[in-house]
Amino acid sequence: MPITAVNDFVVKFANVNGSGSASANGLFVKSILRSGVPVAARNIFPSNIQGLPTWYEVRVSGEGWMGRRGGVDLMVAMNPQTWDKDVAEIEPGGYLFYDSTRPMPADKFRSDITVIGAPLQRICNTAYSDPRQRQLFKNIIYIGVLAYLLGIENTVIETLLAEQFATKPKLIPANIEAFHMGVTYARENLKPLGLQVKTADAVGDRIFIEGNDAAGLGAVYGGATVCAWYPITPSTSLAESFTNWCQKLRVDKETGESKFAIVQAEDEIASIGMVVGAGWNGARAFTCTSGPGISLMQEFIGLSYFAEIPAVIFDVQRGGPSTGMPTRTQQSDILSAAYASHGDTKHVLLLPRDPGECFEFGAMAFDLADRLQTTIFVMLDLDMGMNEWLTEPFKWDDAKQLDRGKIMTAEMLDAGRDFGRYLDVDGDGVPFRTYPGTHPSKGAYFTRGTSRDRYARYSEEGAVYVDNMERLLRKFETAKSLVPQPIEAKAGKPTRFGVIHYGSTGPAMDEAMAALEAQGLYVDALRIRAFPFPGEVFDFIERHDLVFVIEQNRDAQLRTLLMAEGGVDPARLVKILHYEGAPITARFITKEITALMGAPVQSEMAK
Amino acid sequence: MTYIAKPKFAHPSLQPNAVGYTRRDYEGRVSTLCAGCGHDSISAAIVQACFELDLEPHRLAKLSGIGCSSKTPDYFLGASHGFNTVHGRMPSVLTGANLANRSLVYLGVSGDGDSASIGLGQFAHSIRRGVNMTYIVENNGVYGLTKGQFSATSDKGSKSKKGVVNHDSAIDMVSLALQLGATFVARSFSGDKAQLVPLIKAALRHKGAAFIDTISPCIAFNNHAGSTKSFDWVREHNEAVNRLDVMIGRSPITADYSEGSTVQVEQHDGTVLTLRKLAADYDPTDRIRAMGFLQERAAAGEVVTGLLYVDPEAEDLHDALGTTRTPLNELNTADLTPGSAALSDINASLR
């Protein structure tokens, strides 16, 4: 039986990298959003510019589930190279849409799916003589066919095309014409599918934006003035976003002067070096990178930790180790960020869930860096960073002042305040600092990566070193109360089972929790939003007999961190790991937890 | 005690400069380098230059990497903020510091191990970006802290203290700086304070990337026969193209320039550099000819010193970026945060 569903299905586009499909697919997603139906879209693309397979998976969910569900209801198969794999991925009863210009042998189809062909290339070849036009308009034509098949209003797409080409109005009529070629062909030759988009009001005032873009805007609102970066997928668009937002929001209209400085460094080492230099000198500075960049930055991260210099690093995680899978997603830099550099170090990690938190944490990171005088990592991943997500609108409290932390001013020095750069005056482990140039005779000190006493004087005395290292631990303890606290989602019924998850796993976890409850399986879910872990994290583990820790890496890195920092019995933390490079799905989580909560775990728990 | 502070005692007859500081105010802690180290002479030259420039010590930020040379910022300008960064990475830290606050004077001190090996890339990129700084390489052609290995500036054919002959070509930092677009390039010798002090003064007043390669013999590991960075060798092969004095508007020119021809170069800030030509055909504003001259004299076995190139119209990284005149670290919440109204518009554009 063909699948029938209204506002709840998965469409996957199989394309060729460089064929111009991205804007057409984006248009498709926007048209569903403008119909008032929540949608989540994910690019699955190769580390290549042109010619290799690329996919675009669209989750349409009137219920508002924004993670990947798993499975495909409608495959738009535009890449012969991946045909067999794409066809195999379709759910029983699902749909296959393809370009029927050339006949395909019968064994290339499946009997349990509905096949819809449209001669896209023939239509293009008839309408256009220019090869590039034939390619680009083919994409718009298939959007027209799909709009008819799924019941999307023409006017929605016409409006979007007008918006998309607002700066090149000559292109609008040609695109609308191509769109109608598709609609017309479908109306005359095809029947609407069992999958339908019905206008709804379920999007509300939510916005649609990439996490990197949101984080770049967050850095603007967080008062970042210096960005030093080096191009690396998937973080590049974060620096580009910061540049764009700064040019819009931070250029003085009268003088034309920029209230920011952005430098594309020669490498990752120089980029973090500039951040450390700027942070030392009192500017809010950041870099953005990915795992390989973090590896290169280790030495400076240690300096930031030990010399206590504010720095912010946005780590947009990708598939590792080494060059790994540069354009695939993972959460596999957790440990290397938490304990980055040699010697005893611990760093603050912020773990946003979606673009809304990318903005919020992106701004907050600079307050934290100044307050704690250390490196703050904001841990995005490719899924969140480079895909547009539906998220709550950004909010800002105009009463909020940037928190510059403990700065000893010239006035304070003149008033006789004792200044020791590494003195723990408040017992929270956080010392006062002075900016270079503060006072003619007081407050200058020498910053170094070597051991020193409370007054910044070089010292290799064991007791002095230990005193300093213990204070750094006190500071890390202080961080627990400053970082975003975890959020617990309680199950519908009391349960002995818990789930811990973080970051971009959140949306799929929400859906999995509902799916589990539908099966009568109840789990409380705790979403960790930062490291160091506030006490509530360990309370949660204490309150549950068994806690599943869901991660998108092979080695259960967060679980390791929980064991290392909280002394948790490993047997109580059960790994659920998904690390093949595509974002985790609700079905995967549901299946794993269902299996674990079945007989084996129940009997284990009964012992 | 693992640090040595200088005694507070100061001679009452010390004369203050125009901003009220005595030379003593420009000193730092007691040096822990070997007695006779060329680097200490450079520190003394920095002290004298800053004193004579009437530079308020706290308005200078001194940054270094790792190594003997990089320890020296502790030994001068004790009232300045200093930053002993990591090996070879001083230039990026200085660049960041400069971006944060353009109103301070930036002095980077490095060594040949620090800048010509691990830090060659950062050296190059800070120079090509035109960071407004004075970058001094204290060049002794040897790794002192690890006891005598060749560095990348050791001349091919020169000998180590143990008699080993260096078979690698030397990196000439001055030629590199010229090629990379430094707008002030000089070389000097730690044993020639009369030449070095005015060069440092001029570099500190220069807007843009000012580079001074200073041959600074290592008394412990590279001051023997066979070394081309020893005191004796440099004295015998030093070919000074000019002698310099710096006039800062109000200061009269005190040097006697009666011998030879002179050339005057006025910089952006009004500083006038007066050069007494020793090499008659040497033009310090011609980058291309300077490069050729250096190569020619190097082939003849000479170490050319003096102000080798200056672009008086130089611009710096801030000019290229169009950064606000107000130091970035002084911008406040109102300057930086666009506010909720702007955010509402942004939200609306994302639907």
Question: Are A277 and B333 in contact (CB < 8 Å)?
Answer: no
Give B102's Cβ-side CA count (13 Å radius): 24
Which own/partner contact pairs does A420-424 have at CB distance under 8 Å and 24+ positions apart?
Answer: A420/A454, A420/A455, A420/A456, A421/A445, A421/A447, A421/A454, A421/A455, A421/A456, A422/A308, A422/A452, A422/A453, A422/A454, A422/A455, A422/A456, A422/A468, A422/A471, A423/A454, A423/A455, A424/A454, A424/A471, A424/A474
Distances (CA, A) of B326 to A242, A408, A439: 20, 20, 18
DSSP 8-state class, residue A387 = S
Contact A74, A592 (CB under 8 A): no
Q: Can you tell me the mean pLDDT for A38-52?
A: 91
pLDDT at B1: 37
Q: Which residues of B touch A300 (CB under 8 A)?
A: 86, 89
Other C-beta atoms closer than 10 Å to the C-beta of B285 total 14
Alpha-carbon torsion, ordered B30, B123, A310, A468, to 10 deg: -40
Size of interface A-B (CB pairs under 8 A): 232
Residue with tokens 């479908």: A186
pLDDT at B281: 83
pLDDT at B262: 84
Q: Which residues of B touch A437 (CB under 8 A)?
A: 58-59, 61, 81, 101, 103-104
* Distance between A156 CA and the closest CA of chain B, angstroms: 13
pLDDT digits (tens, 9 = 90+) for A422-431: 999 999 999 9
> Who has greater pLDDT, A195 or A23?
A195
Look up residue A97 and give its amino acid: F
Q: Which residues of A touch B59 (CB under 8 A)?
A: 437
pTM of the model: 0.96
Contact A526, A83 (CB under 8 A): no
pLDDT at A606: 44
Question: Are A444 and B98 in contact (CB < 8 Å)?
Answer: no
pLDDT at B250: 59
Distances (CA, A) of A295 to A267, A268, A299, A320, B103: 12, 9, 9, 11, 34
Q: Can you tell me the mean pLDDT for A178-193?
A: 97
Question: Are A397 and B82 in contact (CB < 8 Å)?
Answer: no
**Testing the interface with A: which of B27, B32, B60, B95 to mutate, by most A Cβ within 10 A?**
B95
Nearest neighbour of B335 by CB, restricted to A209, A259, A299: A259
Look at residue A87 and tell me whether its pLDDT is greater than 70: yes
Question: Are B100 and A282 in contact (CB < 8 Å)?
Answer: yes
Q: Give the residue on B whose Cα is nearest the Cα of A452.
A: B2
pLDDT at B2: 46
* Distance between A247 CA and the closest CA of chain B, angstroms: 11
Look at residue A571 and tell me whether its pLDDT is greater than 70: yes
If you write DSSP's letter for every residue of A74-141 in order, what string do you get?
EEEE--GGGHHHHHHTEEEEEEEEEETTS---GGGS-TTSEEEEE-HHHHHHHH--SHHHHHHHHHHH
Q: Which residues of B touch A220 (CB under 8 A)?
A: 336-338
Tokens for A533? Answer: 């872990």
Nearest neighbour of B58 by CB, restricted to A228, A303, A439: A439
Contact A385, A212 (CB under 8 A): yes
Q: Give the residue on A whose Cα is nearest the Cα of B21.
A: A440
* Distance between A445 CA and the closest CA of chain B, angstroms: 5
Query: Of B50, B105, B109, B73, nearest to B246 (Cα)?
Result: B50
Contact A47, A5 (CB under 8 A): no
Lowest mean pLDDT among A148-152, A271-275, B237-241, B326-330: B237-241
- Show the beta-strand stretches assigned E in A212-347: 226-229, 261-264, 285-289, 311-317
Cis (ω within 30 of 0) for the bond into A234?
yes
Contact A537, A486 (CB under 8 A): yes
Question: Are A283 and B325 in contact (CB < 8 Å)?
Answer: no
By DSSP bridging, strand B133-139 and strand B105-111 are parallel
Question: Are A280 and B96 in contact (CB < 8 Å)?
Answer: yes
Query: Of B118, B178, B180, B123, nearest to B151 (Cα)?
Result: B118
pLDDT at A602: 52
Q: Give the residue on B whose Cα is nearest the Cα of A222.
A: B337
d(CA A3, CA A9): 9
Contact A40, A67 (CB under 8 A): yes
**Testing the interface with A: which of B326, B343, B345, B349 to mutate, by most A Cβ within 10 A?**
B343
Q: Which residues of B touch A305 (CB under 8 A)?
A: none
Q: Which residues of A touch B86 (CB under 8 A)?
A: 273, 299-300, 303, 449
Largest CA distance in chain B: 77
Nearest neighbour of B83 by CB, restricted to A205, A447, A460: A447
Nearest neighbour of A259 by CB, restricted to B3, B78, B324: B324
pLDDT digits (tens, 9 = 90+) for A483-524: 999 999 999 999 999 999 999 999 999 999 999 999 999 999
Contact B186, B137 (CB under 8 A): no
Question: Are A265 and B328 in contact (CB < 8 Å)?
Answer: no
Say whether B27 sits in a helix, a strand or coil: strand
Question: Are B100 and A278 in contact (CB < 8 Å)?
Answer: yes
pLDDT at B3: 58
Average pLDDT of chain A, as a whole number: 96
Question: Are A282 and B78 in contact (CB < 8 Å)?
Answer: no
Say whether A46 sits in a helix, a strand or coil: coil
Q: Give chain B's length.
A: 351
Q: Give the residue on B whose Cα is nearest the Cα of A271.
A: B92
Q: What is the pLDDT along chain B (351 residues), one digit of tens a residue?
A: 345 667 766 676 789 999 999 999 999 999 999 999 999 999 999 999 999 999 999 999 999 999 999 999 999 999 999 999 999 999 999 999 999 999 999 999 999 999 999 999 999 999 999 999 999 999 999 998 888 899 999 999 999 999 999 999 999 999 999 999 999 999 999 999 999 999 999 999 999 999 999 999 999 999 999 999 999 999 999 999 999 999 887 555 455 545 567 888 998 888 899 888 888 889 999 999 999 999 999 999 999 999 999 999 999 999 999 999 999 999 999 999 999 999 999 999 999
Burial profile B58-80: b = 16 or more Cβ within 10 angstroms, e = fewer: bbbbbbbbbbbbbbbbbbbbbbb
Nearest neighbour of B343 by CB, restricted to A226, A250, A396: A396
Residue with tokens 């910044």: A456
Q: Which residues of B touch A448 (CB under 8 A)?
A: 83-84
Question: Are A273 and B85 in contact (CB < 8 Å)?
Answer: yes
Nearest neighbour of B96 by CB, restricted to A276, A402, A446: A276
